[in-house]
Every structure is written in C-alpha cells, then in structure tokens.
C-alpha cells in the first residue's frame, strides 16, 4: 500500500444496498427520482466531479435495477459494483466493497441517500484529508435537531475525534452533542481493511457500524479529523417522501437561481420545475408553471409560455412554445412554433420555422422547414415536406387495426381542411387536396384530388319541411305543460291565499 495517500488513487464507495423501508415503496429508495434523475446518480456524479478515479456502488435491494441505472448513466466511466446480499450495517457494506477497490490509496465513503451533497464539498474533504495526511477524515455538521444521527465525541483539545456514538446507543449526555456524522468520510485504505475486520455488532441494532472504525483507529493512536460542512442542508439524508419533497424544493430553488445567473428569465420562478440534466440558453424566457424535464435542451432567445411541459426535447434558438403545450422526445429547429395546446409525442421533428398550432397531435412526424399545421390535426408516422400547408382537421390514418403505415407528403403540397390520408400513401410535390377528401391512393405531383360528391340544393326546404315539424313540436310541448299544471292544482288541497281568506 502506498504510504503517501496524496499520490494514490481515490476510490469512492456509495452505499446503496438498503431498501429504504420508510419510503413505503416498491421501488428501492436510491432509485426514487430527485430532479428527474434517480437519487443515487447525483452522488455518483458528485464523486466523479470531485475527482475520484473510480466509483464502487454497494448494491443489495433491487441490485440489478440499481446497477443498470448507474451503469447506463455513466457508460465509459470507471465503475465497480459490490453485492451486499444481507444488509448487516454500514461497516459490513464497505467491507463488501473491498474486493472492488483496486489500487485505491484513499477510500471515500458516501451514503446513497444524500442527493444535495455538492462535488465541491467532497473535493474539499479530500483535499483536507490528504493535505493533513490523517488516517481518517469525517464530514460533520451542527444539526439543529441531532436526533437519529451519530454524535461526534472529540478529545479534550477538540482537535481529534475519539469515536462516533450512534443515536440509539448514546447516553443522555452524549445525545446533547449537536455535532453529528454527515455520513461521508475519507479513510486510508491500508487502515480501513484491518479495522473493518475487527468490527463487532455489539450495539442496539446488532449491526456492523462503519462509525466504529473511528474508535478502533483512535485507540491505536491514529489521527481522526473532522471536516465541518457549513451548510447542514447539504448533508441531509432522505428517509421519507416528505423529506424527499422538502429537499427537492431546496434543490429546485438552487437550480432556478443558477439558470437566472446564466441569463434565463423566469416569471413566477417558484412555480417552475427544471430537472437536473436540463440545459437552457441565454435570453430564454420561461413563463409560470413551466416544466422542463429529463434531458431537455433549449437554445437561446426561446419563449416557453405558461404551463408548457417539455420532456426530453431539443429546441434550437428562438423557438416559441405557446401556453399549455406538451412535448416529449421531440426536436424543434430554430424559429419553430407550437401551441397553444399542442401535443408533440416522441419522434416529432420540426424544421426551421415550422408551425404546429392548437389541438394538433403529432407522433413520429418529420415536419420540414416552413411547413404549417395550424389547427386540429393528428399527424402520425409521417414525413411532411417544406412549405406544406396542412388544413384544419387533417388526419393521417396510420393504423389499420393491425399495423402502422407511413404517410409521405412532399414539398409545397396544400392539404385542404378535413382531409383523411389513409396510409400507406404518398402525396407528390405541389399536389393540392381538396377539403373533405379521403386520400387512399398516391397522388401525382402537381395534381388536384377531390372526393367530394355533388351537392344537391332543395329550395323552400324550411317552409315545407322544418317549419311544420317545429310547429307540431311546440304544440305538443304546450299541451304537456298545461296538463302538468292541471295535475299539480288538483293535488294541492289548500293554497295560502285560501287560508288568508278565512
């Protein structure tokens, strides 16, 4: 083992094997989304950003799901996974990771349920740990309410930590201590292994506590130091859904301020939701209640109006999303415009300055530059060329009850209102489709197609047909009303007027 830990590899272990019973969920706690991303990924991300060389996740409950979430999000990074089949405590969890530590000189232990932890804090902890050459450095903070946390017991000088006593095992005097263990520590690997081997479950919970390593090291003369985290919120763990909601709101508040600092304007910022992986360009304006989710990327100078929801979308510059539009998995080029009340489903691509108006639904639709579908349409499994005009009420009939088929509309086509395009079908360049047409066969370039039947005109129809029927109906209604009034009068024995008369 290298004696000088400052030159050795740093490996982070993230403890994520627990079930998270207090979440009362079928989903393991560390996979619950936090700002749109499984909680545990925030910590893997923070560890790599802090400069660790490798991240080993300790998995147990729903191990396969946790492992694939981490592996999927950090493809190409130096990852390891350790399986802790039985959760016998945090010390046991770290011990399960030993075989995955490689040539680590320093081990950074992080708990998987503290998603607000910042990479800067981890980096500072590591710097302090390596500069001083301590055996172990424990992140601590002053808790307003230390209940549930391990208490930090220091020596007389206050310089060293002697031991950490868990809440359940603490005496009433020890419970008065408000300096607590944040659940993050850096430790020399050569000291960690033998210390873990000596842990014993002699405590209220019958577990192997990682925190007992402190006392084992201190009594053998090693220096265990504290690194104080200034903002206790950062170290807060999530155990319940209420805590998740509270911490997420704190994280959202930070997120909004970050984007405003980077040149994004917001109306009623408190109502706006921005997920962790979203990117927004300068001079973009977000209206009230906007939700930007997943890996949504937005260019500069865009306008996203009230109530719009974008999930996993890519927007160029100067795109305008009008109020209450919903778009998922879609790409919108510069100057495109949708809504109000547009619905873009996955696979939608809008070219430059293309326009999709109110009550238009699209799915797997490639709509080229300057094309317009301004009102009330369903456009699915289709390719629409440049400068095409899609009239109100146009429907691509893409599903025959068994299979989906494609509709291709070439450049400069004009589609009249209330058209059905029965796929598979191709409408050639510059063709015109008359309003109310059902297109079932390919349309040649430059032609006009209409399937309208000849209209018949019958003069005097109102006087001869509608009026006599209306009069008959009015007479029937009047007779029924008179009959009801008569039967009510017969059923009422005495009126108030009669009483007053006596």
Could you give the residue numbers annotated as active site? Answer: 375
Minimum CB distance to Ca ion smaller for 166 or for 215: 166
Q: How far is the CB of 239 from Ca ion (least distance, A)?
A: 6
Measured CA to CA in angstroms, residue 497 lies from 412, 465, 500, 501, 502 at distances of 79, 47, 5, 6, 9
Q: How far is CA 61 from CA 16, 17, 31, 479, in A?
A: 8, 6, 11, 76
Q: Which of 60, 91, 237, 281 binds Ca ion (CB under 5 A)?
A: 237
Interface segment toward ligand UD1; rule CB under 6 A; list 12-20, 100-108, 312-320, 361-369: 12-20
Q: Find the shortest distance in angstroms from Cβ 93 to ligand UD1.
A: 4
Q: 15 is in the binding site of which of Ca ion, ligand UD1, none (Cβ under 5 to 8 A by kind)?
A: ligand UD1
Give the residue with the Cβ less far from Ca ion, 108 or 427.
108
CA separation for the pair 263, 282 (Å, rounded)? 5
Q: Can you tell me the distance from the alpha carbon of 356 to that of 372, in angstroms, rounded to the nearest whole number?
A: 6
Structure letter (DSSP) for residue 443: B
- Nearest to residue 141, comparing CAs of 173, 184, 107, 176? 184
- Which is nearest to 8 in space by CA: 187, 210, 217, 225? 187
Among 8, 10, 11, 15, binds ligand UD1 (CB under 6 A): 15
167 vs 303, beta carbon nearer Ca ion = 167
User: 13 or 394, CB closer to ligand UD1?
Assistant: 13
State which of positions 146-165 bind ligand UD1 (CB under 6 A).
Answer: 149-150, 164
Q: Which stretch binds ligand UD1 (CB under 6 A): 90-98, 213-221, 359-367, 388-396?
A: 90-98
SS (H, E, C) 19-87: CCHHHCCCCCHHHCEECCEEHHHHHHHHHHHCCCCEEEEEEECEHHHHHHHHHHHCCCCCEEEEECCCC
Using alpha carbons, list the distances in angstroms from residue 311 to 213, 331, 395, 409.
45, 11, 25, 27
Note whether 214 binds ligand UD1 by CB under 6 A: no
Q: What are the structure tokens assigned to 202, written together?
A: 């002699």
The one of ligand UD1, Ca ion, none whose footprint includes residue 17, by CB under 5 to 8 A per kind, is ligand UD1
Q: Considering beta carbons, is residue 117 or 344 the nearer one to ligand UD1?
A: 117
Stretch that binds ligand UD1, among 206-214, 317-325, 369-377, 494-502 (CB under 6 A): 206-214
CB of 96 to Ca ion, least distance (A): 18
Beta strands in 120-211 (DSSP E): 136-142, 151-154, 161-165, 179-188
Looking at the Cβ atoms of 168 and 485, the one nearer to Ca ion is: 168
Burial class (CB in 10 A: 0-12, 13-18, 19+), 396: buried
Per CB under 6 A, the list member of 9, 62, 211, 296 interacting with ligand UD1 is 211
Q: Which of 87, 124, 246, 334 binds ligand UD1 (CB under 6 A)?
A: 87
> Residue 391 has which token pair?
């009239």
Closest CA to 248 of 280, 267, 287, 274: 274
Judged by CB under 6 A, how many residues of this single chain contact ligand UD1?
A: 26
User: From the CB of 103, what's the least distance to ligand UD1, in Å?
Assistant: 23
Question: How many residues bind Ca ion, per CB under 5 A?
Answer: 1
The 170-199 site mask, x for binding ligand UD1 (CB under 6 A), equals ----------xx-x----------------
Instruction: Please say which residue, 37 or 88, places its beta carbon nearer to ligand UD1.
Output: 88
CA angle (65 as vertex; 59, 71 as ends), nearest 5: 80
361 touches ligand UD1 (CB under 6 A): no
Q: Is 210 in the site for ligand UD1 (CB under 6 A)?
A: yes
Closest distance to ligand UD1 from the beta carbon of 125 (Å): 15
Nearer to Ca ion by Cβ, of 237 and 316: the residue is 237
Residue nearest to Ca ion (CB): 237
Residues 99-138 binding ligand UD1 (CB under 6 A) are 111-113
Do residues 160 and 154 make contact, with C-beta atoms less than 8 angstroms apart?
yes
**What's the DSSP call for residue 465?**
I
Question: Which of Ca ion, ligand UD1, none does residue 141 bind (CB under 5 to 8 Å by kind)?
Answer: none
Which is closer to ligand UD1, CB of 212 or CB of 361?
212
* CA 421/CA 432 separation, integer angstroms: 13
DSSP assignment of 370-436, as one string?
T-EEEEEEEEEEEEE-TT-EEPTT-EEE-B-SS-B--EEE-TT-EE-SS-EEESSEEE-TT-EE-TT
Q: Do 42 and 34 contact (CB within 8 A), yes or no?
A: yes
243 lines the binding site for ligand UD1 (CB under 6 A): no
Rounded to an integer, what distance in angstroms lies between the CA atom of residue 398 and that of residue 400? Answer: 7
Q: How far is the CB of 187 from ligand UD1 (least distance, A)?
A: 13
Q: What is the pattern of x (binds Ca ion, CB under 5 A) and - over residues 96-135?
A: ----------------------------------------
Chain residues binding Ca ion by CB under 5 A are 237
Chain residues binding ligand UD1 by CB under 6 A are 15-18, 58, 84, 87-90, 92-93, 111-113, 149-150, 164, 166, 180-181, 183, 209-211, 237
């Amino acid at each position: 083992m290298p004696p000088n830990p400052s030159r050795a590899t740093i490996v982070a272990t993230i403890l994520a094997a627990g079930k998270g019973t207090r979440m009362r969920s079928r989903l393991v706690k560390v996979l619950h989304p936090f700002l749109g991303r499984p909680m545990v990924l925030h910590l893997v991300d923070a560890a790599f950003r802090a400069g660790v060389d490798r991240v080993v996740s300790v998995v147990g409950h729903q191990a396969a799901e946790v492992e694939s979430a981490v592996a999927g999000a950090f493809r190409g990074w130096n990852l390891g996974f350790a399986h802790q089949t039985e959760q016998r405590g945090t010390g046991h969890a770290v011990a399960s990771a030993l075989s995955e530590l490689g040539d680590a000189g320093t081990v950074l232990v992080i708990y998987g349920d503290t998603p607000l932890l910042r990479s800067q804090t981890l980096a500072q902890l590591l710097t302090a740990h390596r500069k001083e050459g301590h055996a172990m450095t424990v992140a601590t903070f002053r808790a307003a309410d230390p209940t549930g946390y391990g208490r930090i017991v220091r020596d007389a000088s206050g310089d060293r930590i002697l031991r950490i006593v868990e809440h359940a095992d603490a005496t009433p005097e020890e419970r008065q201590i408000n300096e607590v263990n944040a659940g993050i520590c850096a430790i020399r690997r050569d000291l960690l292994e033998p210390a873990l081997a000596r842990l014993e479950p002699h405590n209220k919970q019958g577990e192997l506590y990682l925190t007992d390593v402190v006392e084992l090291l201190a009594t053998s003369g090693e220096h265990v130091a504290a690194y104080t985290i200034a903002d206790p919120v950062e170290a807060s763990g999530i155990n319940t859904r209420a805590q998740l909601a509270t911490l997420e709101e704190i994280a959202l508040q930070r997120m909004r301020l970050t984007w405003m600092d980077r040149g994004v304007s917001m109306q009623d910022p408190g109502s706006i939701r921005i997920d962790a992986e979203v990117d927004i360009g300068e001079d973009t304006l977000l209206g009230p209640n906007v939700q930007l989710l997943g890996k949504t990327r937005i260019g500069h100078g865009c306008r996203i109006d009230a109530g719009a929801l974008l999930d996993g979308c890519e927007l160029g510059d100067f795109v305008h999303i009008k109020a209450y539009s919903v778009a998922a998995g879609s790409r919108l080029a510069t100057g495109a415009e949708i809504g109000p009340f547009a619905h873009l489903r996955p696979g939608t691509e809008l070219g430059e300055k293309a326009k999709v108006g109110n009550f238009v639904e699209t799915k797997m639709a490639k709509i080229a530059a300057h094309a317009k579908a301004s009102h009330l349409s369903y456009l699915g499994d289709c390719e629409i060329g440049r400068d095409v005009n899609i009239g109100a009420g146009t429907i691509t009939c893409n599903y025959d009850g068994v299979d989906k088929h494609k509709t291709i509309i070439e450049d400069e086509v004009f589609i009249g209102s209330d058209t059905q395009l029965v796929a598979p079908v191709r409408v050639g360049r510059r063709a015109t489709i008359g309003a109310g047409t059902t297109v079932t066969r390919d349309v040649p370039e430059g032609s006009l197609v209409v399937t309208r039947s000849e209209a018949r005109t019958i003069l005097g129809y109102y006087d001869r047909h509608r009026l006599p029927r209306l009069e008959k109906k009015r007479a029937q209604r009047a007779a029924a009303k008179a009959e009801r009034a008569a039967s009510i009068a017969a059923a009422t024995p005495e009126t108030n007027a009669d009483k007053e008369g006596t």
